[in-house]
Chain A
Amino acid sequence: MAEVKEDIKKPENLVYKKTDLMTDKTLSYCPGCGHGVIHRMTMEVLEEMGLEEETIGIAPVGCSVLAYEFMNVDMQQAAHGRAPALATGIKRVFPEKTVFTYQGDGDLAAIGTAETIHACNRGENITIIFVNNGIYGMTGGQMAPTTLEGMKSSTTPYGRDTKKMGHPLKMTELVATLPGTCYVTRQAVHKPGAVRKTKKAIKKALEYQKAEKGTSFVEVVSNCSSGWKMTPVQANKWMEENMFPFYPLGDIKKPEK
């Protein structure tokens, strides 16, 4: 047995390695939460593209406020919703750097709506990674702008009544209409195939940033088992059955050749 163990350590037997751009710190996310996977995909892409020495990431306010503890690149932590303004501020004075924001749906589509739309409308050469879990995870599961019609949350205990609480906001479709965005896509991380697609999408988004095509915007529909009051398995099933029909996956806008 002892020999087998030693064998595993040989470099030629390596099948998977955590990217050096994720720190060794234990993730603060709930079991099954999509945030961890989306972090890792973002960091794997940065490493594969060799961008780690020139990247500045912006962490939001939300469950991923501590993204800077896990993402092993230079990071700035923004006030709630203001990440696209920080990214603009950096990118305008350091146009050759790679700048991305990582934001939840409350952060990006409620309190930060203006910053999101105007950064996209100016066509800032930044990449926005938008994690839509249909809820305010961090503050304990309140309604988000993205919460589905009829969906329960701690501030819509009888389900979201669109007459009183407005309609779920499709921010990604909205920014796709703006001339400043070059690549707008919606992905997920609930299955290995989806994770691979998300990774590809993030890579494209960063490539378009490097090519100075404008704002690249990657929404990832994700779960929040704690906020949704479900087990992780139930949450992923519920997401497929309820979130995907309203938030269909796939590219919404691609740059003209």
Chain B
Amino acid sequence: MEKELRLMKGNEAIAEAAIRAGVDAYYGYPITPQSEVMEYLTEQQPEDRTGMVVLQAESEVASINMIYGAAGAGKRAMTSSSSPGISLMQEGLSYMAGAELPCVLLNVVRGGPGLGTIQPSQADYFQSTKGGGHGDYHLITLAPSSVQEMYDFLKISFELAEKYRNPAMILSDGAIGQMMEKVILDEQVPRRTEEEIIKDFPWASTGKKNRERNIITSLELDPAKQEQVNLNIQKKYREIEEKEVRFEKVQCDDAEYLLVAYGTSARLCQETVKLARDKGIKLGLLRPITLYPFPMKEIASMVEKQVKGVVSVEMSAGQMIEDVKLAVNGKVPAEHYGRFGGMIPSPEDILEFMEKQIMGG
């Protein structure tokens, strides 16, 4: 069969992906630069296409808790927002991680702190990968760098979230959300029936028919039991770190110098690699696709082999650099380069930084 191709914005692509992946519910609250997600969904009337529910909530606090409810009932539920809205969801996400509920959220990151700017940014790396809310937990975090990946990662994120019973985050930014590219679409996947939910998620609260009751909670008053709950959750994270790391390498085979960058920054760094190669500099790019779990081992082994210096390029004041430095472990110089507050670095500036700070130094 011929592939279905369409020119779409990143925010529209993920909305279409949600309908086609058999998502049951989208609960959200408008915020720039991602409002197209809910606008596209309401325009498409997925209630008629697949039975998917779309509801505009009164706040991001409400939308994440609506998702808790639906996920607790075994349904595929998602939301999208941008930085300030994601901050409001942190309590709900902590509860979901504690209650071990799957969901997918999209953060189309804008520059902060505070109300900041609506321009693209990558300053929510810490919040996404290190927990964000209270307690010991992580979000499985995927970083798309194209409109196609906005589309593809929706389904992958649900599969990971459901496999590990943990929320998954798609960490994007205003550039990828707003730009238009061609997207290859999949065929429609049907939503799970109630029988399938009961079979796939025997823990879900669907009504206690022919079984004992199910309880969805993150509360355990006995500290010895709560420690065990935590140990079980941590065991999942070790497994995720072992099995689910994803990354892409560009011209890394012979690379003596390495850029590490994700999302929009990775696209810029591809240009930087070309510029460097034209000048005879053996520069490569490692693009983490999963930010949590982070490709620690891969970076460590590249440094072990031939890489002599690393620059972590981010549209932030330097957040991912902390993970890069952990991976590099002091063996070679590793520095952060970035612009922030909605500014985007140029490929030339990145190369200049690499040449002066790492190669020259």
Binding site for B on A (CB under 8 A): 52-56, 58-59, 65-66, 68, 72-79, 82, 85-90, 92-94, 97, 114-115, 118
Complex Cα spacing A41 to B104, Å: 38
Shortest CB-to-CB span from A26 to chain B, Å, is: 14
Given A65-B219, A74-B205, A77-B215, A114-B73 contact (CB < 8 Å): no
A77 touches B216 (CB 8 A): yes
Query: Quick one: given A72-B213, A77-B218, A82-B61, are A89 and B66 in contact (CB under 8 Å)?
Result: yes
In the complex, what's the smallest C-beta–C-beta distance from B39 to chain A, in angstroms?
19
Contact (Cβ within 8 A) B70 A92:
yes
- The stretch among B51-59, B172-180, B232-240 that forms the contact with chain A is B51-59
Query: Is there an interface contact between B217 and A52, defined as CB atoms closer than 8 Å?
Result: no
Instruction: Provide 25 A-B residue pairs closer than 8 Å at the C-beta atoms, listed in order of the A residue.
Output: A54-B209, A65-B219, A73-B207, A74-B206, A74-B207, A74-B208, A75-B214, A75-B215, A77-B216, A77-B217, A78-B65, A79-B95, A82-B61, A82-B65, A85-B69, A89-B27, A89-B66, A89-B77, A92-B25, A93-B73, A93-B77, A97-B207, A114-B59, A115-B58, A115-B61
Select which of B63, B69, B207 is within 8 A of A76 by beta carbon: B69
Q: In the bound complex, what is the Cα–Cα distance between A73 and B61 (angstroms)?
A: 26
State which of A86, A93, A118 has its C-beta within 8 Å of the C-beta of B53.
A93
Bound Cα distance A164, B73 (Å): 43
A86 touches B214 (CB 8 A): no
CB pair A88 B215 closer than 8 Å: no
Q: Which residues of B contact A82 (CB under 8 A)?
A: 61-62, 65, 68, 92
Cα–Cα, bound, A65→B215 (Å)? 12
Is A74 touching B213 in the complex (CB atoms < 8 A)?
Answer: yes
Q: Would A75 and B205 count as touching, CB distance under 8 A?
A: yes
Choose from A55, A72, A93, A115 the contact partner of B65 (Cβ within 8 Å).
A115
A74 touches B68 (CB 8 A): no
Pick the contact of A58: B25, B67, B69 (CB < 8 A).
B69
Cβ of A75 and Cβ of B216 under 8 Å apart? yes
B69 touches A86 (CB 8 A): yes
B73 cross-chain contacts in A, Cβ below 8 A: 56, 89-90, 93-94, 97
- Chain A residues, Cβ within 8 Å of B218: 77
- Which of B67, B69, B72, B205 has the most C-beta atoms of chain A within 10 angstroms of its own C-beta? B69
Contact A53 B208 (CB under 8 A): yes
In the A-B complex, the 7 residue pairs with the smallest Cβ-Cβ separation, listed nearest first, are A89-B69, A89-B66, A86-B69, A85-B65, A77-B217, A74-B205, A82-B65
Q: A65-B219, A76-B69 are in contact. Are A118 and B62 (CB under 8 A)?
A: yes
Residues on the B chain within 8 Å of A59, using CB: 217
Asked if residues B72 and A86 are in contact (CB atoms below 8 Å), the reply is yes
**B260 CB to closest chain A CB, in angstroms?**
36
Residues of B within 8 A of A86 (CB): 65-66, 68-69, 72
Question: Complex Cα distance A143/B68, Å?
Answer: 29
Separation of A68 and B219 alpha carbons in the complex (Å): 11
Contact B91 A88 (CB under 8 A): no
Nearest-neighbour CB distance to chain A for B203, whole angstroms, equals 10
Contact of B287 with A by CB under 8 A: no
Most buried by B among A55, A58, A87, A92: A92
B162 to chain A, nearest CB (A): 15
Shortest C-beta distance, A91 to chain B (Å), equals 8
Chain A residue at smallest Cβ distance from B92: A79
Closest to A55 in B: B207
For B53, list chain A residues within 8 Å (CB).
Answer: 92-93
Task: Provide the bound-state CA to CA distance between A248 and B254, in Å.
Answer: 81
Interface string of B41-61 (1 = CB under 8 A from A): 000000000000101011101
Most buried by B among A55, A79, A97: A79
Known: A77-B217, A90-B72, A93-B77. A56 touches B207 (CB 8 A): yes
Q: Kindly supply a per-residue 1/0 record for chain B positions 13-25, scoring 1 wherever the CB is within 8 Å of any chain A CB and 0 otherwise.
A: 0000000000011
Nearest CB of B to A51, in Å: 9
* Chain B residues with CB under 8 A of A92: 25, 53, 55, 66, 70
Q: Which residue of A lies closest to B62 (CB)?
A: A85
B216 lies within 8 A of A54 (CB): no
Can you add 10 more A-B contacts, CB < 8 Å, to A75-B216, A92-B55? A66-B219, A74-B208, A76-B68, A76-B99, A78-B65, A78-B95, A87-B69, A89-B71, A93-B53, A94-B73
- Chain B, range 172-204, C-beta contacts under 8 Å to A: none
Which residues of the other chain, A, contact B9 by a CB distance below 8 angstroms? none
Q: Chain A's nearest CB lies how many Å from the CB of B16?
A: 20
Q: How far is the CA of A74 from the CA of B217 in the complex (A)?
A: 11
Residue of B nearest to A72 (CB): B213
Pairwise interchain contact B217-A89, C-beta atoms closer than 8 A: no
Give the docked Cα–Cα distance between A86 and B65 (Å): 5
Cα distance A56–B25 in the bound complex, in angstroms: 18
Q: Given that A77-B215, A77-B218, A79-B91 are contacting pairs, would A89 and B68 also be in contact in the complex, using a CB cutoff of 8 Å?
A: yes
